[in-house]
Amino acid sequence: MTDVAGVAFRRVGLPGLSLHVAEAGPEAGPPTILLHGFPEFWYGWRHQIGPLSEAGLRLVLPDQRGYGLSDKPDGVPAYHLDKLAGDVIALADAYGFATIRLVGHDWGGLVAWWTASHYPDRIARLAILNAPHPGVVGAYIRSHPGQWLRSAYVGLFQLPILPERLLTADRCRALRHALTGTSRPGAFAPSDLDRYVEAWLQPGAMTGMLNWYRALARLPRATPPRVRVPTLILWGKQDTALQPGLAEASLDLCEAGRIEWFDQATHWLPHEEPAAVNAALRHFLT
């Protein structure tokens, strides 16, 4: 998986685990960590790597814990948001970054929100693509039944063993169809899906990936910390899993934030509108 131009790879040791990390861009550029979501890995940023590198950003793109070639700790508690956010800060520490620009899509966006809320002094700028702040999800679902219906699959993921079997059967047929069925035609090429299947079938990966959902269900209800860092939310309005109201509820937690809407894009915004997304990110991050 080394044919994305300008990308190098390394393994980075953190307290308690190590992560497989893709790197790109000039070493002296502003440090920028990009966090993929479910069910992707670093390769989910393939359309952003070249343009953001050319804009002068130093990119660090980990396979997050449980994913791809990174370590996959045992047990649901290992995937609590506090630990996932801790990985981001530990990764920045490993590189010697005092502050970072942080970008997240889907689950990577939830981690990015959580990191910015709890470590505001370490985050220079925050960019979120189709991901709500974890602190608003529960209250929003309780007051918006339509979102509850969209989130019903999360209940299935709470079951032991069965979801892993369903999602890995027939070379992960269900997950492949989930990607192509919820995105615009052409967003995921067959060759892209082959790469995803390879990542999903890594030993322990599917359980690690699902444990993120299992841990989220155990998150206690609490008033979320406000987001003090400059924040840009990019949101595809045709998202089949997340209503646009979640973006607005998340913005309400921001002291300095704004939303850019993409009326025709789905949840898979970075794949469907790469030119516009890259332009927005370059303008905001550089």
Q: DSSP of 36-90, one letter per residue?
A: --TT--GGGGHHHHHHHHHTT-EEEEEPPTTSTTS---SSGGGG-HHHHHHHHHH
Q: Pick from 240, 243, 242: which is nearest to 182 by CA? A: 240
Q: Pick from 55, 222, 27, 58: which is nearest to 124 by CA? A: 58
As given in the structure block, the two tokens for residue 126 are: 């925050």
Active site residue 106: yes
Catalytic residue among 20, 36, 47, 267: 267
DSSP classification of residue 274: H
Active site residue 79: no
Active site residue 67: no
Question: Distance of alpha carbon 208 from its chain centroid, rounded?
Answer: 15
Catalytic residue among 106, 119, 133, 239: 106
Catalytic residue among 36, 79, 213, 239: 213
Phi/psi at 275 (5° precision): -65, -45
Whether residue 115 contacts residue 125, with contact meaning beta carbons closer than 8 Å, is answered with no
DSSP classification of residue 254: B
Max CA pair span of the chain? 48
* Residue whose tokens read 């497989």: 20
As given in the structure block, the two tokens for residue 8 are: 């190098």
Spatial neighbors of 109 by CB under 8 A, at least 6 apart, are 35, 37, 128, 129, 130, 131, 132
Measured CA to CA in angstroms, residue 20 lies from 6, 43, 68, 199 at distances of 16, 12, 8, 12
Give the residue numbers annotated as catalytic, written as ranges. Answer: 106, 213, 267
